[in-house]
Structure 1
């Protein structure tokens, strides 16, 4: 089993989108998680709406803390661009994708950010297989 953790500050948008695309595109031997260093307690409505446009229901997603993550070995830990706000979590692969928080973008700009996250998740899953 391969384990992937996506991390951003609020765990409301970027890391939630990455987790969603991880669930969509992963194989059965991959587990996908997301968390935040300072979780907002809710998933961004634009994330919910734009994933629904693709047929994905984020109803089971919730904003959660890194402290709530299982104490397991992660094959990949991906931070979304939160710099020092994201604490170090051990992972075989560690990357910072440097993505700005899209929560204040227009709907079309938000969709472009969503699509960029999907491309990166697909590439990560390919590299882990």
Structure 2
């Protein structure tokens, strides 16, 4: 019996944000759990804060998602020759979307899935946590739509259109700088 030409492969996905302390960390955790072994999730930032936001970790725990072992790291870790080759790179904040990203080995498919920064919310602890829960839900919805795509069988144009549409779903933030 011969093996198929391309066995079910695992796709590498990198979530980017400026600080790599909240949205990108939550997205990494959600995809790690909900990707059903089809995806390997990573996250990084252009200017990492150096620590993961404790409210982000609390929300992940509240919804029974992995909340251990995350660290805020620079996206340069994923641009070097020893880094895993990414299949997909998603920006989840508008600032990172407007920055000059490194050249990713392997030319991954990219899309912008901007979500308002829950860490920027001021107010009571309850208001802050509510903002993180809203961000979590928006990310979870996007990731569920992404994970449901027949990634291996879609042509590049169809896949790109689907990824762009996912980024426009409920909760999408509007880029602050529309000049591209």
Question: Is structure 2 residue 145 aligned with structure 1 residue 123?
Answer: yes
Runs of 4+ with deviation above 4 angstroms: none
Count the aligned residue pairs: 129
Higher-Rg member (1/2): 2
More strand by share: 1
CA contact (8 A) 1:77 1:95 kept: yes
Q: Structure 1's 100 and 126: CA in aligned 2 closer, same or farther, altered over 3 A?
A: same
Aligned-residue RMSD, C-alpha: 1.8
TM-score when scaled to structure 2? 0.65
TM-score (norm 1): 0.88
What is the alpha-carbon distance in structure 2 between the residues aligned to residue 9 and residue 85 of structure 1?
Answer: 9
Unaligned runs of 5+ in 2: 1-9, 122-126, 153-180
CA drift of 1:73 comes to: 2.9
1:99 aligns with 2:115: yes
1:89 positional shift: 4.6
What's the offset of the Cα at 1:119? 0.6
Residue 86 of structure 1: how far off its partner (Å): 5.7
Q: Which has the higher contact order (CA 8 A, sep 6+)?
A: 1
Distance 1:101 1:85 in 2: 17
- Pairing of 1:1-129 with structure 2 (within 5 A): 1-69=10-78, 71-80=83-92, 81-82=94-95, 83-85=97-99, 87-90=101-104, 91-105=107-121, 106=127, 107-127=129-149, 128=151
Pair 48,102 (structure 1): closer, same or farther in 2 beyond 3 Å: same
